[in-house]
Amino acid sequence: MARKHSLSWVHLGDNLVTVAPIGLFLGRLASFMDGDLFGRVTQVPWAVRFPAEIHLASFQPVQATRLAVERLPVSSFDIMQVAHSVPQVMDALLLILNPRHPSQLYAAALEGLLLFIVLYAVRTRARQPPEGLLCGLFFLLHAVFHVGVGFLREPRDGDPMWWGLSQGQLFSLPMFAVGLMMLGWSLSRRAHPAGLLAQEPGAANGPC
C-alpha cells in the first residue's frame, strides 16, 4: 500500500501502531472472559478463580474433592455451563479453585490502554515527531509490558522456560531490540534532518 501510493512505510507504520493497542486491549479482555491465559496463584484482594485451571498438570486443589475434574470440559465457559446446571459442581469448584492474578486485565491495562494513551499523546502533542518514533515506542513498550505481565501469568503446560522466562517473554526480547534501534534511528533523524547540508566556507557571505 505504501509503495502503491508513494507513501513512506515508516510514516504509515507510525499511524498504524497508534491505534494497534485498541485491538490488543479488546483481545486481552476476550481472553479474560474466556478464562484463558490466567495468572499465577495469589492472595491479592482482586484475585479471580478460573475454572480451566483444573486441567493444568500442576493443578493443586485448595481442598480435597471427590469431583471428577477430568470429566469436565476443557474451556472455562463450558465448565461454567455445567456448573450452572449442576449446583453440586458449582459448590465443588468454589472449594477447590485457587485465587489467581487476572493477568489478562493487567495486559489489557498496560499493553492496551496505557500504551494507547502514550502513543496518542506523542502523536497529537509532540511537535512534528520524527518518523519511526511511534513505531519504536510501540515495539519497546509493548515488549516491556509483555515481559512484565509474563511474570504474573501461569505458564502453559509444556511451555519451556529459559532463565526464568517463558517462551512468550523470550519472543518479546527481539521486539525490544527492534524498538530501541528504531528509536535511535528516529531521534538521529531529528538531530540531523535530511536535506540540511553544511554550507561551504564563505557561502554565508554571498558572492564577492
| Burial of 8 from C-beta contacts in 10 A (0-12 / 13-18 / 19+) | exposed
Write down the pTM of the prediction: 0.80
pLDDT at site 6: 56
> So what's the pLDDT on residue 10?
78
Q: Return the pLDDT at 196.
A: 44
Sorted by sequence, the CB contacts under 8 Å of residue 80 that are 6+ apart come out as: 51
Report the pLDDT value the prediction gives residue 4, as an integer from 0 to 100: 55
More confident residue, 36 or 203: 36
| Mean pLDDT computed over every residue of the chain | 84
Reported as a single tens digit per residue, the pLDDT across 59-80 is 888 888 888 888 888 888 888 8
Spatial distance between the Cα atoms of 52 and 69, rounded to a whole number of angstroms: 10
Q: Tell me what percent of the residues of the chain surpass a pLDDT of 90.
A: 41
192 — pLDDT class (breaks 50, 70, 90): low
The answer to whether the Cα torsion of 191, 193, 199, 204 is positive or negative is: negative
Spatial CB neighbours of 133, under 8 Å, sequence gap ≥ 6: 14, 122, 126, 182, 183, 186, 187
Check residue 198 and give its pLDDT.
47
Looking at residue 108, its pLDDT comes to 97
Alpha-helix runs per DSSP H in the chain? 9-34, 76-85, 87-96, 103-107, 115-125, 133-150, 167-191
SS3 call for 153? strand
Predicted confidence (pLDDT) at residue 151 exceeds the cutoff of 90? yes
- Is there a contact between 151 and 204 (Cβ–Cβ < 8 Å)? no
Based on the number of CB atoms within 10 Å of its own CB, is 160 exposed (0-12), middle (13-18) or buried (19 or more)? exposed
CA distances from 139 to 14, 40, 179 (A): 11, 26, 5
Please count the other Cβ atoms lying within 10 Å of the Cβ belonging to residue 146: 20
